[in-house]
Amino acid sequence: MIAGHESGMFDVSDIQDRDDVLVYTSMELDTELRLLGSIKAEIWVSSPTCLFDISLRLSDVDELGRAYNIVDTFHREKVENVNQPFCLETEIGSTSYTLKKGHRLRLDIAASNAPLYDINLNNGTTTKTHTEGKAAVEYIYHGGEKASKLIIPLEK
């Protein structure tokens, strides 16, 4: 929690509409879907710099298209081989949550989660210690041999 910033569950649709956020949305659910336990991701990525940041958020999209955050995470990784794909395995978080029939499940991926975390300046440093940075294009893979995936525990 950060003073002056919302906490709890809120509509994150405006963030997901940004050009620098990658969004994956399921089809409408035919029945209720109960999530129970630790949600994980295996995301294939590559970075042109030695420091890679990724923010992952799972949300519940209602019938009106509003997306409400369920669980999220931020991960910073030192990259050994720049521009080479690698699989990042991370826990997004644990939850006990029911998506209603007609809702959709959404994952959004971003390279930052400011102001909660310092910003990667794409030169091996962050805004915690430096001010000068550069733009970088990072890749998320989602098919073939490098298929990224969510691992979602469902209540039985």
- Does the pLDDT at position 7 exceed 90? no
Residues 11 and 8: their CA atoms lie apart, in Å, by 10
* Whole-prediction pTM: 0.90
Question: Can you give the pLDDT at residue 8?
Answer: 81
Tens digits of residue pLDDT in 19-62:
999 999 999 999 999 999 999 999 999 999 999 999 999 999 99
Predicted confidence (pLDDT) per residue in 81-127, tens digit: 999 999 999 999 999 999 999 999 999 999 998 888 898 989 888 98
